[in-house]
A and B are shown apart, each in its own frame.
Chain A
C-alpha cells in the first residue's frame, strides 16, 4: 500500500481532468471531425468558428488579461488578411506559412502603433481611440488600390492554400489547417500567459499604479499586450480570408465584426482561453442551429425575414439571461455545472465511508 500510493498520486497528477479533456478533444478534432463532418459543417460552421475563436483569444489577451479595451479587432483581422494576400502575391516564392507569420507581424506592428494611446488613456477613452484603427484601416484599404492589387472593386480573391506543395483545397483539409494553426497559437498564448509577462498583464489590469510601484514595466507590458493580441487577430484574419471566405472586401471587416469579437469574449468569459472558444461557439454556431430549428419547425408558416427577426430576439434574450445568471460568462457557468456534476459522481463512493 505504501509503495503504491506515490505511484498512484504521480499518475493522478499527470492525468488531470483538464489534460484528459484536451486529449479527448484532440482525438475528436483530428480523428473524427475531418472524416465524419459534412462539407457544410466544416466549411460553414467550424472554419469560421475557429477563425473567430482565435481572434477572440487575441482580444482576450488584450482586454481580458491586460485590461485594455479595444474596438479595433476587425481592423487587425483586415490587416492580417490583406498582408497575407500581398505577401503571397508579391513574393510568390515565400512559403505560405511564412506569409502567415509575416501577416501576423504586420498586424502586430499596426497594433503597436494604435496601442500607443493606451499609455495615456484608459477604459472608455482607450476604446474610443482604438476606433481610430477600425476606421483608418478600412478607409486605407478602400482608398489605396495597391492593397487589393488594383482590383477595381477592392475585393481580393485568396488563392488556394498550399503548404509545402500540398494544396489544402477540400473542406476537410482547410479545417485541419485552421485547427492546427489555432491550436499552436492557443498553446503558445497559454504559455505566454503563464509566464512573467502574463502575470504582468494581470497586474496592470488589476491596478495599474500598484503594478508600476512593484516594478512592472508599464510601457513594455501594454505594448506587448497590444502586439501579441494584434498578432493573433492578424493570423485569425488570414484564416478568415484564406481558409473560410476565400475572398475579402474591406467592408467585411466593419465595426460590427469588432463588436462581435468583443461580445464573444464578454459572453464566453473575460480572461479565459476556454471562454473565448465557448463564446465563439455561442456567437457563430448557436444562431445557425436556432435558425435551422426555426426553419424546420415554423418555416412553412412565416417567411425567412420574420424567422430571422425572431431569432435575434431569442438570442438577445438569452444573452441578457446568461449575463444576469453568470456575469463572468459562459465559462464560469460551465465550470460551476461541471463541478456540481463531479460532486454528484463522487458522492456514491463517499457514502459508505460516512456511514
Chain B
C-alpha cells in the first residue's frame, strides 16, 4: 500500500499540473509550426515562418482573432530534416484545435501524407509538394496551394514564349534546364520533355550534384549547346554559384529564368553583380508597399511583436510567401466558420474551408493584398486552386515585376496529374472521391 502512495501522489500532482497548463476553454485555433531556423535552409525558414507568424499576429492584434477565435501556434525546430519533422508532428498533433500543418518541406510533407489523412487534418504545401496531390479526389487532406511543380514548369515555358513573341516562336529554340540533383530537382524532368514535344523546342536537362558549389563543366556544356534560355531549378548555394559561373562563361544573365525556389533575395545577393538582370518566377510579388504589409509593419512590428530580427527582410520573397500563406490559412478558417459556426473548428472542418477557398481579385484587394498575389480558386477536386504566376527581375537592389500574371496550362497538365494520382490510389487502395459532398467527420 505504502509503495503506491507516492506514485498516486505523483500522478495526482501531474494531473493537476497538466490541467493547469491546458488553456482555458476559450475558442482558439492552433497552428503547429514545423519551422527551421537552424541549418542550411534557415534563410527560407526564418523568412517564411516569420511572415506566417507576423500575419497570425496581425489577425490577433487587429481583429482579435478570426471572428473572435484567437489564433495560437507553437514552433518545433526541424532543421529541414524529415525525422525531426515527424517528431514535431507526433508531439504537437494532439493539441486542441489543430487547424492545418504547413511544413514547407517536400520531405516532411511526404512523410506526413499518411499521418494527416488518418488524423483528418489538412496539410498545406504552398508552392511545392507532391504534384499529384493537386487531385483532391485522391488526396482529400493535401493542398499544394497556388502552384505545384508542373504548373510552375508550364508557367516558365509560357513566359519564355511571351518573351519570344508567341508559343509558335518556341520551335527550334534551345532551352537548358539546370536542375538540383535531388528528388526535388528531378521532379519536373518528365514534364519538361512533354512540353518540349508539344512546342517543338530543343531541350537539354543537366544535373548539378548537391550542393552545387562547382558548376564550371555544366556551364561550359550550356555554352557549347548554344542555349537560348537556361531554366535554373536550383536550391540554396547552387543558385548564386550558377549566376556567377554564367557570368564567367559569358552567358547573358537575363536569359536565365529561375524557378520558384531560386527566386529569393538570398539567392541573388551573394552573386553580387552577376545577378543583375536575372529573372525568376514567383507567385507573390516582393516589396512592402502592399496595404497588408504596411499593416503588419504598423500593427505588429509597431507593438514589438514582429518575428523577423532583421527588419530589412520585411517584404522579401520568403517573408511575403509567409504572409500569403497566412492569408490563405486564415481565410480558409473564416470560410469554414461561415458554415460550421464561429468556434474552434476540427481539422476536417478546416479541410472543408480549404476546399472552398475562393478568393477573387476583389476579395484579395479587400484583404490588402492586391498585387501581392493574384487569386485562388480551390475546389474539392482541384487542391492547387489555379494560382497565377508572375516574373520578377533583380535590378541589383530589389526585385521588379516584369510580367503580367501568367496562367499555367492547367488543361494540359490535369490528365498527367490524374494519371499519377490514379496510380497512387491503386497502390494504396484509396477510393476515388466522386463529389465534394464528403460529409465532414466521416
Contact = CB atoms under 8 A, between A and B. Distances in A.
Interface string B356-390: 00000000000000000000000000000000000
19 contacts: A40-B90, A142-B181, A152-B186, A153-B106, A155-B106, A155-B183, A245-B83, A245-B86, A247-B82, A249-B82, A249-B107, A251-B210, A252-B83, A291-B77, A303-B75, A304-B35, A304-B37, A304-B75, A304-B76
Contacts of A309: 38
Given A153-B183, A157-B428, A245-B86, A308 B114 contact: no
B319 to A, nearest CB: 15
A252 B75 contact: no
Interface residues of A, number: 29
Interface in A112-131: none
A44 B428 CA distance: 24
Given A251-B107, A303-B37, A304-B37, A142 B186 contact: yes
Interface string A134-171: 00000000100000000011110101000000000000
Interface string B220-247: 0000000000000000000000000000
A250 interface: yes
Given A48-B83, A157-B114, 16 more contacts: A39-B90, A44-B89, A45-B87, A152-B187, A152-B189, A153-B184, A153-B187, A159-B428, A244-B86, A245-B86, A246-B111, A249-B183, A251-B183, A288-B87, A304-B77, A308-B37
Given A142-B181, A142-B183, A159-B428, A308 B77 contact: yes
A129 B46 CA distance: 38
B90 A154 contact: no
Interface in A265-290: 288
B114 A305 contact: no
Contact of B111 (A40, A152, A245, A288): A245
A159 B188 CA distance: 25
Contacts of B114: 157, 246-247
B109 to A, nearest CB: 10
A44 B38 contact: no
A305 B46 contact: yes
B410 interface: no
B425 interface: no
Please provide the 6 A-B residue pairs with the shortest distance between their CB atoms, ordered closest to farther: A305-B37, A153-B183, A44-B90, A154-B183, A304-B77, A44-B87
Interface of A: 39-40, 43-45, 48, 142, 152-155, 157, 159, 244-247, 249-252, 288, 291, 303-305, 307-309
Given A247-B110, A304-B77, A40 B428 contact: no
A252 B182 contact: no
B421 interface: no
Interface of B: 35, 37-38, 42, 46, 75-77, 79, 82-83, 86-87, 89-91, 94, 106-107, 110-111, 113-115, 130-131, 181-184, 186-190, 210, 420, 427-428
B131 A44 contact: no
Contacts of B107: 155, 249, 251-252
A33 to B, nearest CB: 16
Nearest to B210: A251
A305 B106 CA distance: 21
Nearest to B89: A44
Nearest to A135: B209
A250 B427 CA distance: 21
A249 B106 CA distance: 10
B167 to A, nearest CB: 25
Contacts of B210: 251
Contacts of B37: 303-305, 308
Which one of A48, A247, A250 has the greatest number of beta carbons of chain B within 10 Å? A247
Contact of A251 (B111, B182, B428): B182
A244 B86 CA distance: 9
B77 A307 contact: yes
A305 B76 contact: no
Contacts of B189: 152
A146 B360 CA distance: 43
Contacts of A291: 77
B417 to A, nearest CB: 11
A245 B111 CA distance: 6
Nearest to A153: B183
Contacts of B75: 303-304
Given A40-B90, A142-B182, A251-B107, A157 B77 contact: no
Given A153-B130, A250-B183, A252-B107, A245 B190 contact: no
Contact of B113 (A157, A249, A304, A305): A157
A44 B210 CA distance: 29
Most buried by A among B76, B77, B106: B77
A249 B186 CA distance: 13
A247 B186 contact: no
Contacts of B182: 142, 251
Given A142-B182, A153-B184, A309-B38, A249 B110 contact: yes
Nearest to B50: A303
B38 A154 contact: no
Contacts of B186: 142, 152-154
Contacts of A305: 37-38, 42, 46, 77
A82 to B, nearest CB: 13
A291 B190 CA distance: 42
A251 B35 CA distance: 19
Contact of B82 (A39, A40, A142, A252): A252
A246 B428 CA distance: 13
A337 to B, nearest CB: 24
A224 B182 CA distance: 34
B16 to A, nearest CB: 17
Contact of A44 (B86, B113, B420): B86
B169 to A, nearest CB: 29
A154 B188 CA distance: 12
B328 to A, nearest CB: 23
Contacts of A246: 111, 114-115
A253 to B, nearest CB: 11
A288 B90 CA distance: 12
Nearest to A171: B90
Contacts of B115: 246
B110 A155 contact: yes
A39 B182 CA distance: 32
Given A142-B183, A304-B35, A247 B111 contact: yes
Contacts of A40: 90-91, 94
Nearest to B420: A152
Contacts of B79: 308
A155 to B, nearest CB: 5
Contact of A157 (B46, B106, B110, B184): B110
Nearest to A156: B110
Contacts of A154: 183, 186
A204 B107 CA distance: 42
A191 B161 CA distance: 68
A252 B79 CA distance: 13
A249 B111 CA distance: 10
Contacts of A288: 87
A244 B427 CA distance: 20
- Among A152, A244, A245, A288, the most chain B Cβ lie within 10 Å of the Cβ of A152
